[in-house]
Amino acid sequence: MRRPCELALFGAILALCSNLGGTRAFAATPSFTVSATNVTMPLDTQSSCSNGVCTEQYGASTFTLSSLNSYTGALQITCAVASPPAGAVLPACYQHGLMPALPANGTVTGEILFIAPGQTPPPSPATLLNRPGPAAAGFALAATLLFGLGARRRAARWLTLVLLAIGALGSLAAISACGGNSNSMTPGTYPYTATATDATTGTSVSTTIKVTIP
């Protein structure tokens, strides 16, 4: 009579161990998250120049990428307004600066710039290009997104990064030469979506940035 009970108990213990092992395996799946700060566009986005040096006021959001369960990899950030109202005049946005690889269980921060219509985007990275104007900014942005190609070995990454570069450049197509200001934009608060994408697997996560135009 005792043997069936012992077998039943042994089977229950095995089942419990199996479930626990499966839970640990699922929880250990490498992944990543993204978060970003909200933005209030400056009241005056016109450029000011002194001694031949010009500066412009931009909206800026700080994003944070976090590794989960020892994830490590090359991520790209894209940004776009979510469901813009018809006829609204809104800023374009893009990741500014080079993106380092996300270390295992670490974090990486960066900047997303919000460019008012008519503003000239800053070159990115500044050390690669010093020519002014939207065309120069577009070239710099493409260089930013494609910079990591030389360090990547798998051909699949090339197509992904090229598509990301095209998408980011498209977001700047409406930006003209210079002299815009926030008064030309439609006042209100608008949701933008910032997306982090793994260049190899295509896995992506998103977060919402609230952009306020006074």
Considering the domain boundaries, does residue 2 fall inside one?
A: no
Q: What is the pLDDT of residues 86-137, one digit of tens each?
A: 999 999 999 999 899 999 999 999 999 999 998 888 886 543 333 334 444 4
In 126-155, which positions are buried (b, 16+ CB within 10 angstroms) versus exposed (e)? eeebeeeebebbbbbbbbbbeebeeeeeee
**CATH code: domain of residue 124:** 2.60.40.10
Intra-chain end-to-end CA distance of the chain, in Å: 81
Strand order of the sheet with strand 39-40? 39-40, 204-213, 188-198, 75-81
Q: What is the pLDDT of residues 25-50, one digit of tens each?
A: 455 799 999 999 999 999 876 666 66
Considering the domain boundaries, does residue 102 fall inside one?
A: yes
Cα–Cα dist 162/35, whole Å: 24
User: Has residue 55 got a pLDDT over 60?
Assistant: yes
User: Has residue 18 got a pLDDT over 60?
Assistant: no
Domain count, the chain: 1
Q: What is the pLDDT of residues 192-212, one digit of tens each?
A: 999 999 989 999 999 999 999
Considering the domain boundaries, does residue 21 fall inside one?
A: no
User: Has residue 146 got a pLDDT over 90?
Assistant: no
Q: Are 125 and 98 in contact (CB under 8 A)?
A: yes
Q: Are 47 and 56 in contact (CB under 8 A)?
A: yes
Structural domain for 65, as ranges: 29-213
Question: Looking at residue 121, what is its pLDDT?
Answer: 86
Task: State both tokens at 91.
Answer: 């800023």
Considering the domain boundaries, does residue 159 fall inside one?
A: yes
pTM above 0.85, yes or no: no
Helix, strand and coil content of the chain, in percent to the nearest 5, comes to 30, 30, 40
